[in-house]
Every structure is written in C-alpha cells, then in structure tokens.
Amino acid sequence: MRKREKPFGSGILYGLYQKRLRREIAELPVPGHIAIILDGNRRWARANDLETAGHGYRAGAAKFREFLVWCDDLGVKVTTLYLLSTDNLLGRAPDELADLFEVIADLADDLSHYRDWKVQHVGSLERLPEALKASLNAAEARTANKTGMHINLAIGYGGRREIADAMRSIVRQHASEGKSIDALAEILTPELIAKHLYTGGQPDPDLVIRTSGEQRMSDFMLWQSAYSEFYFVEALGPDLREVDFLRAVRDYAGRQRRFGQ
C-alpha cells in the first residue's frame, strides 16, 4: 500500500473513522481492477444552484482524480472510468457536450502528467471532436512506457458497440487470411472475443462502483463485468467520499466470489 500524499475529508470523527477503515482493509484482498460509473454530476450541479451542467462535470472530473489516488494508494492495478457513453453523444445538447468534451480533454491531459500512471482510451473515436481525439492520443503517447496504475478512460463507449466492434475485428482478420466462415465458427470462442475488446489483454473488473443511487449498468462493460461484484453508493458523483470508497472495498473483501461455480 502506497504512502498517502495528503488526507481527504474533514472533521475529527470523519478522520478517525477513515483511519479505522484503512486499518480494517489493510490485510484484506484488494480488487485488481476497479471500474466506476460516477453518476449524478448534472443533478449535483442543479442541487447546488449552479448555472450549467458543466460545473457538475468539472466537479466530477476533480472527484475522478481523487478516486484514482485512493485506488493507487490501495494498490489497485487497473481502473476504468466511465466518462462518456455512445448514448450521451446522441442524447445530450450540443452546448452540454462541448463542455463535457473540454472537461474530459483536460482530465486526460492532467492524468497523463501525474504519478506513473498509464492512460488508455477505450471506446470509439466516432463523433468525438478533433481536439478531444488529439488530447487522448497525446495522453496515451505520453504514458505509453509508464508502469504504474493502468487507467482506462471509457469515452464514446458502449458495451454493445464494443462487442459488435470485436466481432467485426475478428471477421475482418479472418477474411484477410482467406479462411472460410465454417473455419471461423470452429475457432470463435469467448476467449477470442475477449482479446478483440477495447480492453483486450486486461483483467476484467473485480469491482464495479456506481454513485447516485442508480442500480443499473447503462451499457458499461457488459462483457467484462459478467462476474464482477457491484457496489452502489447513494452519494452523487462529486460528493463521493473516501470512506464510501473504503466501505466498497471492505464489502468486496467480505464477499465469496464463485465465478458461476
């Protein structure tokens, strides 16, 4: 477990409880891969009488940074942040999307300069503006040789789209080798499909956390989360506290994972 750079939270009782939670989980198994749906940013902005959803997105981005520090300090190896779905690209107003694109670009750049983290975009580049694409490409290139925590930024992401893209990739590769459809049917396995996902070669998430009290997946990591543990938090995204995160990890450690057995 890494030494903390600075404490989060405030108040004596909060601090004592936080320390107690850290002691409790110090010897417990840590999830190797944690994914998070930081939901409720727009609701948070409205609840705080802020003018635009962009204020909520910026608060959510700041919380993502805190969340990643919590994960890294705990020894988590891989994290996935659900930042922008394919449905968001189709359903959000242009002005709101423009704010969100800017916030995501700034976050990707920020993370690529912090610690020894390796940043990877997972999702489709279709419908993303050129400035955001450039920021993501630069963040990936800048961190390509880093060996610290691996951070997936799920942007322009949809679980169904990911599976369809994986299948297209397999078919194209098979066709380029001049092989028949019958031959493809013989080799098409879950393991082969997994290799062609956006996260190919990575471990599946052990723990998926969602904020804001919603209890649904929203097209997030549908394939990879087949055996994941889920933890739902009532707090809106920007209000997520480290104690909420530590409780999620403690709860995860107390579960018996059967993987379908």
Active site residue 39: yes
Annotate 52-76 with three-state secondary structure: CHHHHHHHHHHHHHHHHHHHHHHCC
**Residue written as tokens 């691996």?**
150
118/150 Cα distance (integer angstroms): 5
Token duo for residue 190: 């879950």
Please tell me which residue in 39, 72, 204, 206 is annotated as part of the active site.
39
Q: What is the largest CA-CA distance in the chain?
A: 68
CB 140 within 8 A of CB 171: no
Active site residue 88: yes
CB 81 within 8 A of CB 153: yes
Nearest to 166 by CA among 209, 136, 123, 106: 123
b/e map 59-94, b = 16+ CB within 10 Å? bbbebbeebbbbbbbbebbbbbbbbbbbebbeebee
User: What is the phi/psi pair of residue 156, to 5°?
Assistant: 65, 40
Please tell me which residue in 41, 72, 73, 88 is annotated as part of the active site.
88
Task: Give catalytic residues, as residue numbers.
Answer: 39, 88
